[in-house]
């Protein structure tokens, strides 16, 4: 083993971590997701049985993200480029689980399995089309972006006017109503960074607006806020509903 080469590589990585905000946010994202996963899993014992699965899903979302951020950090340090494939693998696993959370939150109030199926199908369409446009057919990224938007628009519809919204209104649960209000903010504002990042690609609608490399910084911050935030909202509902006698 060439220990001199290994030492040089370690020093180079240290310099990158200390001077590159993108590398720093990969590390922060990894630690924040890991800590959140442990917290959500541990707190399952503090809520009623019908809410334990919701907290388990929250722990899975942040746990899966933590594993991916560990590898995405190393990929970025080694190549200096965006880990697009790793990122979409992460999203393809965690975003459908975030849609599952909408179902689990409203299940105690009568949500049907068909609602869950439609939410997952919409999220998969959104992500698969997004990856095809960003990682495979870059010359047609505008077309794939519009297809991806169909999936996103359906999720927004469900939360604002579809089955999820109707069940929230009919539940007469202040804690669920407050949670869904926050979820709407995550969906409309928190998730908006992802299409913006997509559209700064070469040949897309916002090309040249931002440095494409800098978008990883915003992706990392958005991931941490959205995934951990989703989990905290679910946790607040579970605790509030469990406290009712």
Reported as a pLDDT band with limits 50, 70 and 90, residue 7 is: very low
Cβ–Cβ under 8 Å, residues 178 and 241: no
Reported as a pLDDT band with limits 50, 70 and 90, residue 3 is: very low
Choice among 13-17, 142-146, 190-194 with the minimum mean pLDDT: 13-17
Name the one residue in this structure whose structure tokens are 């439609």: 118
pLDDT tens digits, 166-197: 988 888 888 888 888 988 888 888 888 888 88
Question: What is the spatial distance between Cα 205 and Cα 199, in angstroms, rounded to a whole number?
Answer: 5
3-242 belongs to which homologous superfamily? Rhodopsin 7-helix transmembrane proteins (1.20.1070.10)
Rounded mean pLDDT, 61-83: 91
Rounded mean pLDDT, 52-66: 95
Reported as a pLDDT band with limits 50, 70 and 90, residue 202 is: confident
Max CA pair span of the chain: 67
Question: What is the spatial distance between Cα 190 and Cα 225, in angstroms, rounded to a whole number?
Answer: 8
Question: What is the spatial distance between Cα 164 and Cα 186, in angstroms, rounded to a whole number?
Answer: 15
19: exposed, middle or buried (Cβ count in 10 Å: 0-12, 13-18, 19+): exposed
48: left (phi over 0), alpha (psi -120 to 50) or beta: beta
Q: What's the mean per-residue pLDDT of the chain? A: 86
pLDDT tens digits, 105-132: 888 888 888 889 999 999 999 999 999 9
Long-range CB pairs of 133-137 (<8 Å, 24+ gap) are 133/198, 133/201, 134/84, 134/88, 134/198, 134/201, 135/84, 135/85, 135/88
Domain ranges of the chain: 3-242
Structure tokens given for 207: 């090309």
């Amino acid at each position: 083993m060439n220990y001199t080469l290994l030492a040089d590589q370690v020093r180079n990585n240290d310099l990158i971590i200390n001077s590159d905000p993108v590398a720093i946010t990969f590390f922060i994202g990894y630690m924040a997701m890991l800590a959140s996963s442990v917290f959500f899993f541990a707190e399952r014992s503090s809520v009623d049985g019908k809410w334990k699965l919701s907290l388990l899903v929250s722990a899975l979302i942040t746990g899966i993200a933590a594993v991916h951020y560990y590898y995405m950090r190393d990929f970025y340090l080694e190549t200096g480029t965006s880990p697009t494939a790793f990122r979409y693998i992460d999203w393809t696993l965690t975003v459908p689980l975030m849609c599952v959370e909408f179902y689990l939150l409203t299940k105690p109030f009568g949500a049907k399995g068909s609602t869950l199926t439609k939410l997952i199908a919409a999220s998969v369409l959104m992500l698969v089309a997004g990856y095809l446009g960003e990682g495979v057919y870059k010359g047609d990224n505008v077309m794939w972006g519009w297809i991806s938007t169909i999936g996103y628009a359906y999720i927004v519809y469900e939360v604002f006017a579809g089955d999820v919204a109707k069940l929230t209104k009919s539940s007469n649960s202040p804690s669920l109503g407050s949670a869904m209000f926050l979820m709407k903010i995550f969906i409309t504002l928190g998730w908006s960074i992802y299409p913006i990042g997509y559209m700064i690609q070469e040949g897309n609608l916002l090309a040249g607006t931002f440095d494409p490399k800098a978008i990883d910084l915003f992706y990392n911050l958005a991931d941490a806020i959205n995934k951990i935030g989703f989990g905290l909202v679910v946790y607040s509902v579970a605790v509030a509903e469990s406290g009712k006698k």
